[in-house]
A and B are shown apart, each in its own frame.
Chain A
Amino acid sequence: MEKVLITGIAGGQGRLLARRLHGDYEVVGVDRVPWESRPREVRFYQVDHRKKRFEDVIRRERPHAIVHLAFIRHFDDDPTTRHEVNVAGTTRLLELAVEYAVKKLIIFSSSYVYGALPENPFYMDENSPLNASRTYPEVRDLVEVDTLAGAYLWRYPKIHTAVLRPVSVLGYDVSSAIGRYLGLDLVPTVMGFNPMMQFIHEEDVADAIARTIATNLRGIYNVVGPSAVPLSVAIRATGGLAVPLPEFITRPAVTALFRFGMYPFPPGVIDFVKYPCTLDGSRFEAAAGFTPRFSLEETFASVRN
């Protein structure tokens, strides 16, 4: 039985993935935070993947595959920590994978790396430029991680490296920015803008990762759910009420509130509810034989339980 190591296993997506892989693989997990009530079959190490002890885990466990989910996507910590965990942490992990002859490596990026720009076509493929940092400098570390992994992919052809860029993930377990946003009762939007958006259910994401491991995929892949709907439809379908505010109010308000720690996202996030960031997922569907099993209705229903 192949052994899979999951970083960030105590997070929502990590726990789901562990459950999905259990039975087919030997699952080992690491996380910076403790994991209460974990299943007995999963060996868990509470270590920070930036630290020396992480290397000890890899030396002892010698995993066949590593799924790297340990990224900080929120802005609650200070920017230095975030940058270090995301960029320095990934760099270290990539080096260790070479050193300990890991066969498969999956880096969990996201659709946000493309950025939400007015001139975005619908259905950007994997060759589209990564523009996120142009209007959203706070997430440039995640763009950097994606780029690092892409370069690594070509430098080490013997390692099956796959970079997955899923669209907005919704579900009971995963706490995503978009999930938190849609979970509000009154959802602020930008007046006069209502972009098409794509969503994928967390279980489908776990399935996509499992298929990536099973099919030894190499390359960069968009992972896309059922179809696209306007933001307003998503808000209605998840049981919220859209509150359109003119941009001349929204932008200064978000900027000020974020600066004083009263709002969780910097103003760059506004573009993601103004302009589309919709992806073409056909490459992954063909390569991994993937089709999302959860409909949009089911995906939306999972936001509020």
Chain B
Amino acid sequence: MAVRVESLAAHRRAAARAATHESAESEPAPKPKRAAKRQPDVFDQISEFLAQLAGAVDPSVIRSLNKEVAERMERVPLKLNSFGYDPWGLHPDTARRALVASALAYRYYFRVQTHGVEHLPAGRVLIIGNHAGQVAIDAAMIGTAAFLEAEPPRIVRGMGEYWLPTVPFVSELMVRTGSVVGTPKNCVDLLHNGEAVIAFPEGVRGMNKLFSQRYQLQEFGLGFLRLALETHTPIVPVAVIGSEEQAPAIANLKWLGQLLGMPAFPITLTWPWLGPLGMIPFPTKYRIYFGKPLHFDGDPNDEDRVIERQVDKVKAAIHVMIDRGLRERSGVFF
């Protein structure tokens, strides 16, 4: 008991430190010059990170975040039935709680920097990004960005792997928070309903690639572009920096995955060595870049090589933004 009280007090102090740190930063004064000369070292950065984490534990932070998320949820364009569910099983009340959790991760754990969120058009849009990191945190962070930073706030609808609905609890949670199984029919229906749909054409190839392949875009599926053509939907390319270092995989035991009914079985620095704890990703610094919408015209049933040319344009747009993101950052964690 005593330990808990003590640690809570420590959190408070840390939160207070974080608060004074912020106010110090906001003062223009002559200080910045000196700061610019002295490069902040790793220890400064770690303590800043811990202070921010501690700030997140502060109940007032969570209270205000709850309020902010609830307020934004009100403004999301949704069509609900009398029991409070949308046609694809989204339940705003469940989604709200999930978004508070992922907003905490967004602000205090991955400290996401989002650029170009204003490129998200109103109405239907297909968000296409690079995929990595063994668990789909990249999708969650893009979704959180679209919810916290876009105007009006959007709930991004994920296109899940076919095996996800077979996993207990995941099956229910993914649907309540707005995701669906990634079948073409679901995608077309959602787009016709004016939703923002996110897809990762690299699929498992991207998500479970090895650390040595980081930021190398894997082969893209063509389906998303055919669906965009069919429904006349603009494509917004997105690059995520940080996700590719969050869980460095050194091997992928596909046979073991197959045995367990999973699409992959990655071996990372922490998984499976640390058990369930090993699934927690490293607190890498996330940077998300939304690109300008791309419009495509043509026959959705055209030959693969024709579609491939258009897919390459999307891939190139993501590539340019990944390069920019890698240039702009000074380290993986900061």
Contact = CB atoms under 8 A, between A and B. Distances in A.
Nearest to B171: A193
| B81, B165, B169, B183, most chain A CB atoms within 10 A | B165
Interface string A166-195: 000000000000000000000000111110
Contacts of A131: none
A122 B180 contact: yes
Interface stretch (A20-28, A113-121, A146-154, A286-294): A113-121
Given A193-B168, A275-B165, A118 B185 contact: no
B175 interface: yes
A296 interface: yes
A295 B82 CA distance: 9
B180 A192 contact: no
B89 interface: yes
Contact of B186 (A121, A190, A275, A297): A121
Interface in B174-197: 175, 180-181, 183-186, 189
| B168, B170, B189, most chain A CB atoms within 10 A | B168
Contacts of A124: 185
A32 B143 CA distance: 58
A292 to B, nearest CB: 13
B58 interface: no
B83 interface: yes
A242 to B, nearest CB: 12
Contacts of A194: 171-172
Given A192-B171, A194-B172, A123 B185 contact: yes
A88 interface: no
Contacts of B184: 121
Nearest to A231: B172
B175 A297 contact: no
B168 A296 contact: no
Contacts of B89: 122, 196, 228, 230, 276
B185 A247 contact: no
B296 interface: no
Contact count band on A = 20 to 34
B334 interface: no
B87 A227 contact: yes
B163 interface: yes
A233 interface: yes
Task: Identify whether the interface residues of A are mostly helix, strand, loop, or mixed.
Answer: loop
B172 A121 contact: no
B88 A118 contact: no
A297 B180 CA distance: 26
A124 B185 CA distance: 8
Contacts of B82: 227, 295-297
Interface residues of B, number: 26
A81 to B, nearest CB: 35
Contacts of B273: none
Contact of A228 (B87, B171, B186): B87
B220 interface: no
A226 B168 CA distance: 28
B299 to A, nearest CB: 20
B155 to A, nearest CB: 16
Interface in B241-267: none
Contacts of A276: 89
Nearest to B163: A118
A176 B307 CA distance: 48
A253 interface: no
B172 to A, nearest CB: 5
Contacts of B180: 121-122
A119 B81 contact: no
B223 to A, nearest CB: 13
A35 to B, nearest CB: 37
B333 interface: no
Interface string A204-229: 00000000000000000000001111
Contact of B81 (A193, A274, A296): A296
Contact of B168 (A191, A233, A297): A191
Interface string A225-249: 0111110010001000000001100
Nearest to A124: B185
B166 interface: yes
A113 B319 CA distance: 45
Interface string A89-130: 000000000000000000000000000001111111100000
29 contacts: A118-B165, A119-B181, A119-B183, A120-B181, A120-B183, A121-B180, A121-B184, A122-B87, A122-B185, A122-B186, A123-B87, A123-B189, A124-B185, A125-B185, A192-B168, A192-B170, A192-B172, A193-B168, A193-B171, A194-B172, A196-B85, A196-B88, A196-B89, A227-B82, A227-B87, A228-B87, A229-B83, A233-B83, A247-B168
Interface of A: 118-125, 190-194, 196, 226-230, 233, 237, 246-247, 274-276, 295-297
Given A194-B171, A196-B88, 15 more contacts: A118-B165, A121-B189, A122-B88, A122-B180, A123-B186, A191-B168, A192-B167, A192-B168, A192-B169, A196-B85, A228-B85, A229-B85, A230-B89, A233-B83, A247-B168
Q: Can you list the 7 inter-chain pairs with the closest CB atoms, starting with the nearest?
A: A192-B168, A121-B185, A118-B165, A121-B183, A227-B81, A192-B169, A121-B186
